């Protein structure tokens, strides 16, 4: 998904002809799975990756044919045979990849912009490609999820394959605390696909100059911030203010929210003191995976690793 956001931004901003490459099926092992996309521009530059670097150059070559024909085509890479010197050695995968190359015409660009607009508004969207028995693209459909109707049964009588993708907004990470150790957490979270909101009562810290990679800044004391945030069940929340009283105030309105993740920086003893009792089971404390992290950057790695672990475990990815 993180690559997708970069691709959607590039589609919106470029006037150059483009080809969209998407993995639509994998048989066996592969470096990246179905739904992974890369955008190839007419000048040979591209956004996103399809593999660990072994397929991109060849896809650039195939894309030239798509620029000329302006018709979609499915390329099949069979990397199961280790005796194949081109694809079977040191590729990091031993499967069969089906990659759909689509010329970004007016209709596809319009669909991609609609996807971008929908997820920017915080809603999911569905995009379907219908392919023939020969893996040729015959139809494509875009729909916001709340108005989507699964018509794949109708397609199944006239096609061999329907590739359906669900696009979701970036998961929101809300960080309470804008101290020095918040910066690497925000940076890593932003790079790994989170939309980050930073909250703090100190205006000199909670700003774009101090923490440039956040998407939103909320300045105020906890009770003031409470009035400005509407929590959602898929939100991630981290408390790292290093101020015991502020943490207690934040917990007064956060602890009973139905959140995807709530973690508190600090020792278990300190966190237990915040509750005047045992730490509730839904609270992650100490925050981060236990990797022996030392210093703000290693601690940030452990925190983001835990968020990714929780995300993939709960969503079944």
- Residuewise pLDDT in 10s, the chain (317 residues): 667 888 888 888 888 999 999 999 888 877 778 888 999 999 999 998 888 777 888 999 999 999 999 999 999 988 776 444 454 444 456 778 899 999 999 999 998 988 888 888 888 889 898 988 888 888 888 888 766 665 554 555 555 788 998 888 889 999 999 999 999 999 999 999 899 999 999 999 999 999 999 999 999 999 999 999 999 999 999 999 999 999 999 999 999 899 999 999 999 999 999 998 789 888 999 899 999 989 999 999 999 999 999 988 865 55
Domain final position from 146, 167, 188? 167
One domain for residues 163 and 186? no
Specify the CATH number for the domain of residue 289.
3.40.50.720
One domain for residues 163 and 141? yes
pTM: 0.76
One domain for residues 298 and 184? yes
Total structural domains within the chain: 2
Structure tokens given for 304: 């983001």
One domain for residues 159 and 81? yes
Residue 148: its pLDDT value, please?
64
Write out the residue range of the structural domain in which residue 191 sits.
172-315
Ranges of beta strands (E only) in 160-270 are 161-167, 172-176, 195-200, 216-219, 236-239, 261-264
One domain for residues 91 and 60? yes
Domain final position from 149, 167, 185? 167
Q: Quick count: other Cβ atoms within 10 Å of Cβ 255?
A: 16
One domain for residues 153 and 209? no
Q: How far is CA 238 from CA 4, 11, 198, in A?
A: 26, 33, 10
Domain final position from 118, 136, 167? 167
Q: At residue 8, what are phi and psi to the nearest 5 degrees?
A: -60, -40
Hunting for tokens 């190839």 — which residue is that? 40
One domain for residues 145 and 189? no
Contact status, residue 23 vs residue 98, Cβ threshold 8 Å: yes
Contact status, residue 143 vs residue 125, Cβ threshold 8 Å: yes
């Amino acid at each position: 998904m993180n690559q997708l956001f970069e691709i959607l931004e590039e589609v919106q901003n470029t006037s150059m002809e483009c080809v969209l490459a998407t993995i639509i099926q994998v048989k066996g092992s592969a470096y990246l799975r179905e739904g992974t996309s890369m955008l190839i521009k007419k000048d040979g530059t591209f956004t996103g990756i399809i593999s660990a670097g072994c397929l991109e150059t060849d896809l650039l070559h195939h894309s030239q044919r798509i620029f000329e024909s302006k018709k979609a085509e499915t390329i099949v890479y069979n990397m199961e045979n280790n005796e194949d010197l081109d694809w079977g050695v040191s590729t990091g995968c031993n499967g069969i990849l089906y990659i759909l190359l689509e010329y970004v015409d007016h209709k596809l660009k319009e669909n991609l912009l609609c996807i971008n607009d929908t997820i920017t508004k915080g809603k999911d969207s569905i995009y379907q490609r219908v392919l023939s028995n020969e893996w040729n693209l015959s139809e494509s459909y875009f729909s916001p999820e709340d108005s989507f109707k699964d018509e794949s049964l109708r397609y199944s009588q006239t096609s061999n394959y329907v590739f359906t993708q669900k696009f979701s907004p970036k998961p929101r990470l809300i960080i309470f605390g804008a101290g020095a150790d918040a910066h690497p957490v925000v940076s890593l979270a932003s790079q790994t696909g989170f939309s980050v909101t930073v909250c703090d009562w100190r205006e000199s810290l909670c700003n774009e100059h101090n923490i440039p990679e956040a998407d939103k800044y909320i300045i105020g004391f906890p009770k003031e911030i409470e009035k400005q945030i509407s929590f959602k069940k898929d939100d991630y929340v981290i408390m790292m203010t290093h101020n015991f009283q502020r943490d207690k105030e934040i917990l007064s309105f956060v602890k009973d929210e139905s959140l995807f993740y709530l973690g508190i920086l600090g020792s278990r003893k300190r966190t237990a003191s915040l509750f005047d009792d045992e730490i509730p089971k839904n609270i992650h404390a100490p925050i981060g995976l236990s990797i022996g992290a030392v210093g703000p950057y290693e601690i940030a790695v452990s925190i983001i690793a835990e968020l990714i672990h929780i995300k993939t475990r709960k969503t079944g990815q």
